[in-house]
Amino acid sequence: MTSSPSHAPPLVDHQVLALRLRGVVKTFGDLRAVDGLDLDLRAGTCLGLLGPNGAGKSTTMRMLTGQAIPDSGEIEVLGFPVPQKSKQARARMGVVPQSENLDEELTVRQNLTVWATLLRVPRRHRVKAVADAMVAAQLVERADSKVQTLSGGMKRRLLIARALVHRPALVLLDEPTVGLDPQVRGDIWTLIDQLRSSGVSVLMSTHYIEEAERLCDDVAVVSHGKVIARGTPAELVGIHAGVEALEFFGPPVRLQRVEDTVAPLGFSTRRTGPSVSVLRAEALPQHVVDALGEGSRRAANLEDVFVLLTGERLAD
């Protein structure tokens, strides 16, 4: 998105908070969808909200934009208290919703122009702002195509470009790659990574581990409306899941035997379809490893962290 003549990185003070949430609660009837959420997003970094469906990610996003009002707690967005000053905050943030709401009858260029107008991009900057957004989203060649003729991946890129047309300081992305095939997902990752490199603050929700691991400086693991762990992906893995896992494949009886062997020794396991992984396997005594038979070692990952912390699986 950057059009500055020099390629020097922008000066961003990472001590400044782009987002600050304290004790935020949102209930729907008896359900505490967001249950005392604390979050800090340092300016110029990417924070991931990692949690399964129903964890409260979209509800949190909606409270940041003033579309939902918290029952209690404090929210500051770019220094503005929300919902009191959500208008001011909204003017400086870009929002990519979980579900597409593009105007299918309009072209790519028309969609971006309408949005630039709504977001009060001054008339004299509008054509350039729209052109820059199309370059960032790699949609220049489709500028005059109606949205209804675009592929799913192109629509998703347009949705992101639309949120950037007024050069926001903060971008919220709610599950930006859900339902996309791996190739398209990679394109979106590149786009998000460029955004962050250009100094924009990013809050992204996801239930894809790999997405959080690749893109986020910090990850907040959320479950049932609460942050249950917070850190860089590497810190989270190191603290909660150790160094490596030992993974065994085979028929159910084989997997069961692995679980029965290590459970009494205090080791956690997790099933992934046809396999079972013994977590923190670096601490297994050698005679136990020998008794378990042939397995393969792999590095511990964020999914292991999630399972260890919540007993739940994320997705897919």
Ligand X SMILES: Nc1ncnc2c1ncn2[C@@H]1O[C@H](COP(=O)(O)OP(=O)(O)O)[C@@H](O)[C@H]1O
Q: Measured between alpha carbons, how far is 120 from 173 in angstroms, rounded to an integer?
A: 21
- Site residues for ligand X, 5-34, by CB under 6 A, read 28, 31, 33
28 binding partner (options ligand X, Mg ion, none; Cβ < 5 to 8 Å by kind)? ligand X
Q: Measured between alpha carbons, how far is 45 from 241 in angstroms, rounded to an integer?
A: 24
Q: 31 or 234: whose CB is closer to ligand X?
A: 31
- How far are the Cα atoms of 182, 185, 243, 313 from residue 91, in angstroms, in the given order? 33, 28, 44, 37
Q: 62 or 126: whose CB is closer to ligand X?
A: 62
Q: Which of 1, 24, 41, 59 binds ligand X (CB under 6 A)?
A: 59
Considering the rule CB under 6 A, would residue 56 count as an interface residue with ligand X? yes
Q: 163 or 222: whose CB is closer to ligand X?
A: 222
Q: 150 or 216: whose CB is closer to ligand X?
A: 216
Which positions ≥6 away from 241 have C-beta within 8 Å?
A: 279, 280, 300, 301, 302, 304, 305, 308
Minimum gap (Å) between residue 69 Cβ and Mg ion: 18
Minimum gap (Å) between residue 316 Cβ and ligand X: 14
Minimum gap (Å) between residue 104 Cβ and Mg ion: 22
Say whether 50 sits in a helix, a strand or coil: strand
Minimum gap (Å) between residue 219 Cβ and Mg ion: 16
51 binding partner (options ligand X, Mg ion, none; Cβ < 5 to 8 Å by kind)? ligand X
Residue nearest Mg ion, Cβ-based: 58
258 binding partner (options ligand X, Mg ion, none; Cβ < 5 to 8 Å by kind)? none
State the DSSP string of 219-270: EEEEETTEEEEEE-HHHHIIIII-SEEEEEES-HHHHHHHHHHHGGGT--EE
Minimum gap (Å) between residue 77 Cβ and ligand X: 18
Minimum gap (Å) between residue 59 Cβ and ligand X: 3
Minimum gap (Å) between residue 170 Cβ and ligand X: 19
54 binding partner (options ligand X, Mg ion, none; Cβ < 5 to 8 Å by kind)? ligand X
Q: 21 or 281: whose CB is closer to Mg ion?
A: 21
Q: Measured between alpha carbons, how far is 8 from 4 in angstroms, rounded to an integer?
A: 9
Q: Measured between alpha carbons, how far is 235 from 280 in angstroms, rounded to an integer?
A: 15
Q: Which tokens hold the place of 17?
A: 């908070």
- Site residues for ligand X, 33-52, by CB under 6 A, read 33, 51
Which residue bears the tokens 């922008």?
Answer: 10
**41 has which bridge partners?**
19
Phi/psi at 155 (5° precision) = -60, -40
Q: 172 or 195: whose CB is closer to Mg ion?
A: 172
Of 221, 173, 175, 222, nearest to 196 by C-alpha is 173
Considering the rule CB under 5 A, would residue 58 count as an interface residue with Mg ion? yes
Q: Measured between alpha carbons, how far is 205 from 223 in angstroms, rounded to an integer?
A: 12
CA angle 70, 44, 4 (to 5 degrees): 125
59 binding partner (options Mg ion, ligand X, none; Cβ < 5 to 8 Å by kind)? ligand X
Residues that bind Mg ion (CB under 5 A): 57-58
* Residues at the contact surface with ligand X, assessed by CB under 6 A: 28, 31, 33, 51, 53-59
